[in-house]
Amino acid sequence: MTMLHPETAEAALDDEILTCLGPDGVLHRETTVGGDLFVMYRDMVLSRRVDTEAIALQRQGELGLWPSMLGQEGAQVGAGRALRPRDIAFPTYREHAVAWCRGVDPVQLLGLFRGTTLGGWNPRENNFNLYTLVIGAQTLHAVGYAMGIVRDGDVGTGDPDRDRAVLVFLGDGALSEGETNEAFVWAAAQNLPVVFFCQNNQWAISAPYSVQSRVSVAQRAQGFGFRGVRVDGNDVVASHAATVDALDRARAGGGPTLIEAITYRRNPHTTSDDDGRYRDAGLTEHWSALDPIARLRTHLESSGVAPDFFAEVAAEEQLLAERIRSGCRALPEPDPATPFLHTLATMPAELELQLAAHLAFVATGEATAS
Ligand SMILES: Cc1ncc(C[n+]2csc(CCOP(=O)(O)OP(=O)(O)O)c2C)c(N)n1
């Protein structure tokens, strides 16, 4: 097991961009917080394979859509492995590697994008909330949850089996949403145990971060009165160190932190997007050279890790890929009435009519005149 050694990284968290494991695979800065590099390597490789298989399945017509996370595995695994079991994570729709770290079955993730489920998993089982496609909405859900933690008295007790925190993920584009700013206001005003983890992957579909703000993501926290830190999001060690530190503070009653993990979305926004229309392929090449998995592999190899370890992960990857492909095709067909049944507690007459028309359409392929 490779553990990181004492020598603090925390001093660097406030101003500069925290980098521990550089693109050259050299550990330039060590941290006190530990983190098993074997586990995080495996997490990144296997969750990337989930992503690759999902894209292929979408291309084969098995999924309606897929938002790829290629290039963001370092940020996500570093953050995901910083969570303790009692903490809860609120994702967007791109946190496939965090879902992996929380133990969500990847086939369940696919169900949402195959249209066979409205959610996919039980958030209580893994303390991993459902994916949220409404940009920024999950920040308020997270803040509301953090208020509940405070009211339950599960913060600042010093009991590691009791204190909890919330880790909420957001994209750079979400910072322009009113809800996110409201969430920041509440988190600051009530000193809530919440960590906002923003993957600044540079793009909100076709809008670059530069058209949204004149200051960095992390600086925006200061205006609300809480701490903002910047990390190299392609450095799983730095991402992990910053998130462990922020969650520790939150659980101890130290209030919120905004982490800006600087990374890059190397694939189009989703499988429905053509990023060639708005950005230069050279940028993607640049970021490919900063790949989070390659740098950790270089580090492990140069530390003398035997080839057997990489072979084992590769074999596991093959089995996972096969399981994902067969599992996706075996997902149960959804009941077409489900969305109607779960919209309102009591279905009004108009919705009953719409349901009947929808069921007739599904059965016959013919739309009925309204
Ligand atoms: C409230 C809302 N407005 C607009 C959209 C359409 N939309 C989907 S993804 C997206 C961009 C989000 O960018 P960012 O927050 O940076 O996250 P990323 O997709 O890069 O992970 C937008 C505008 C939406 N889903 N919800």
**Residue 199 pLDDT > 90, yes or no?**
yes
Which pair of structure tokens corresponds to residue 68? 């790829």
Nearest to 297, CA basis, from 314, 318, 322, 282: 314
Query: Looking at residue 10, what is its pLDDT?
Result: 41
Ligand 1, atom nearest to 204 Cα: 13
**Count H helices, E strands: the chain?**
14, 8
pLDDT of the residue at 4? 36
**What is the torsion angle, in degrees rounded to the nearest 10, for the CA atoms of residue 42, residue 43, residue 48 and residue 51?**
140
Closest residue CA from atom 3 of ligand 1: 135
**Best substitution site from 90, 135, 217 to test ligand 1's pocket, by max atoms within 8 Å of Cβ?**
135
Given the residues 269, 295, 297, 299, the one annotated as active site: 269
User: Could you tell me which residues come within 8 angstroms of residue 333 by beta carbon, excluding any fewer than 6 positions away?
Assistant: 116
* Long-range pairs of 271-278 with CB within 8 A, sequence gap ≥ 24: 271/55, 271/58, 271/59, 271/63, 271/65, 271/66, 271/67, 271/68, 272/65, 273/205, 275/203, 275/206, 277/206, 278/206
30 vs 285, more confident: 285
Mutate to test the pocket of ligand 1, among 205, 262, 275 (most ligand atoms within 8 A of CB): 205
Using DSSP's 3-state secondary structure scheme, residue 245 falls into helix
pLDDT class of 120 with cuts at 50, 70, 90: confident
Reading the block at residue 135, the tokens are: 């940009």
Lowest mean pLDDT across 33-42, 183-192, 243-252, 309-318: 33-42
pLDDT band at 366 (very low <50, low <70, confident <90, very high): confident
pLDDT computed for residue 3 by the predictor = 34
pLDDT at 33: 65
Residue nearest to atom 21 of ligand 1 (CA): 171
What's the sign of the alpha-carbon dihedral 254, 137, 229, 72? positive
Type of residue numbered 187 = A
297-312 burial, b if ≥16 CB within 10 A, otherwise e?
A: bbbbeeeebeeeebee
pLDDT higher than 50, residue 1: no
Could you read off the pLDDT of 88-97 as tens digits, one per residue?
Answer: 999 999 999 9
Q: Would you tell me how many other CB atoms lie within 10 Å of the CB of residue 11? A: 10
The CATH code belonging to domain 36-334 is: 3.40.50.970
- Identity of residue 207: A
**Which atom of ligand 1 lies at the shortest distance from residue 200's CA?**
16
Eight-class DSSP state of 34: -
Rounded mean pLDDT of 88-113?
97
- What is the pLDDT at residue 343? 83
The reported pLDDT for the residue numbered 32 is 64
User: Is 265 an active-site residue?
Assistant: yes
Helix (H) or strand (E) holding 248: helix 236-251
State the closest ligand 1 atom to the C-alpha of 205, by its place in the atom list counted from 1.
11
Mean of pLDDT values over 160-173: 98
Higher pLDDT, 339 or 249: 249
Q: Which of 293, 230, 251, 239 is nearest to 51 (CA)?
A: 293
In angstroms, rounded to a whole number, what is the distance separating the alpha carbons of residues 290 and 263? 9
Q: Tell me which residue has its CA closest to atom 18 in ligand 1.
A: 171
Determine the Cα–Cα distance for residues 293 and 300; give it in Å rounded to an integer: 11
Q: Give this prediction's pTM.
A: 0.93
Which amino acid belongs to residue 348? Answer: P
Kindly report which listed range (17-21, 118-122, 288-292, 319-323) carries the lowest average pLDDT score: 118-122
State both tokens at 37.
Answer: 């590099």
Q: pLDDT tier at 15 (50, 70, 90 boundaries)?
A: low
pLDDT at 2: 36
| Spatial CA neighbour of 69 closest among 40, 100, 49, 95 | 95
Separation of 74 CA from ligand 1 center, angstroms?
A: 21
DSSP 117-183: -SS-S-HHHHTBPPP--STTHHHHHHHHHHHHHHHTT-SSSS-TTT---EEEEEEGGGGGSHHHHHH
Given a cut of 50, whether residue 148 has pLDDT beyond it is yes
Label residues 91-123 b or e (16+ Cβ within 10 Å = b): bbbbbbbbbbbbebbbbbbbbbbbebbeebbeb
pLDDT surpasses 70 at 112? yes
The binding-site residues of ligand 1, defined as CB within 6 angstroms of any ligand atom, are 92, 94, 133-135, 171-174, 201, 203-205, 265, 269
Task: Kindly indicate the confidence band of residue 342, based on its pLDDT and cuts at 50, 70 and 90.
Answer: confident
The residue from 265, 266, 295, 299 that is catalytic is 265
Domain spans in the chain, listed from the N-terminal domain onward: 36-334, 336-369
Q: Kindly tell me if the per-residue pLDDT of 13 is higher than 50.
A: no
Please report, rounded to a whole number, the percentage of residues in the chain having pLDDT higher than 90: 88
* Cα 262 to middle of ligand 1, angstroms: 17
Q: What is the mean pLDDT of the chain?
A: 93
CA of 117 to the centre of ligand 1 (A): 21
Rounded to 10 deg, the angle between the 292-302 and 73-80 helix axes is 70
Ligand 1 centroid distance, CA of 177 (Å): 9
Q: Kindly indicate the confidence band of residue 247, based on its pLDDT and cuts at 50, 70 and 90.
A: very high
